[in-house]
Chains A and B, each alone.
Chain A
C-alpha cells in the first residue's frame, strides 16, 4: 500500500468520521474551511522547510511524484486527514462534556422544580378568605 493510497484512505476515513461516525459535520461549516485554509498555508511553509531541507525523505516508490512546496502531494491528504480528525474529536468531546450537566442547566432545572412545588403548595392551600377565579 503506497503512501498515495494511504493518503486517499486517510482523507476518506476522516470524512467518514466527521459526517457519519461523530456527526460533527465540520465539513459543512465555514469556520472549519477558514481554519483549514490557514493551517494549510502554514503546513506548506513548515512542511516545505522539513522536506526542502531533506529532514524527511520520501521513497520514490511510495509516492506518485508531484510535489507542492517541496513536499509530496500525498502530504496534503495526510495533513487534511490529521486536521479534520483532530477537530472532529475536539468538537465531539465539547458536546459530550457539556451534556453531563452544566451549572446553568442545573440551575434552570432546579428553578422549574421550585416553581412547581410552590405552585402546587398554593393550589393545595384551600383558604376560605380568597376566591379563586379558577375554581
Chain B
C-alpha cells in the first residue's frame, strides 16, 4: 500500500479543491482550454527543472512509495504533481476572487469589464 502514498496525496489535493469549482464558482474545470494554455509554459519550466535536478542528484524518489511508472527519469506522480498543484492553485485563486470580489483587486480578465464604458 505504501506505493500509493504519493498518488494518494495528489488525489487528496484534487478532492479537497473540487468543491471550489461549483460552490465557490471557481469555474476552472469549466474553462479548461484557458487552464491548459496557462499550464503549458509552467510544465515546460518545472519539468525541465525537475529532470535536471534528478539527473544531478539534487533530489530523488523512494521507489517503494511511488506507483512505479516513469516518464523519463521522473515518477509519473511527479509529472502529475505539476498538473494537480497548478490546478489547485488556480481553483483557490478563483475561489478567493469570488469571495473578495473587487476588494481583492482587479486583474483585467473580469467578464464585467466588457460592460464598462
Chain A residues with a Cβ under 8 A of chain B: 2-3, 6, 10, 24, 26, 28-32, 34-35, 38-39, 42, 46, 49-50, 53-59, 62-63, 82-83, 85-87, 89-95, 97-98, 102, 104-105
Contacts and interface: CB of A to CB of B under 8 A. Distances in A.
Contacts of B89: 35, 39, 82-83, 86-87
Mostly helix, strand, loop or mixed at chain B's interface?
helix
Mostly helix, strand, loop or mixed at chain A's interface?
helix
Q: Which of A46, A102, A105 has the most CB of B within 10 A?
A: A46
A56 B108 contact: no
B100 A3 contact: no
B58 to A, nearest CB: 4
Contact of A82 (B35, B61, B86): B86
A86 B105 contact: no
Contacts of A49: 5, 9
Size category, B interface: 35 or more
Given A85-B41, A90-B93, A30 B105 contact: yes
A85 B42 contact: yes
B59 A62 contact: yes
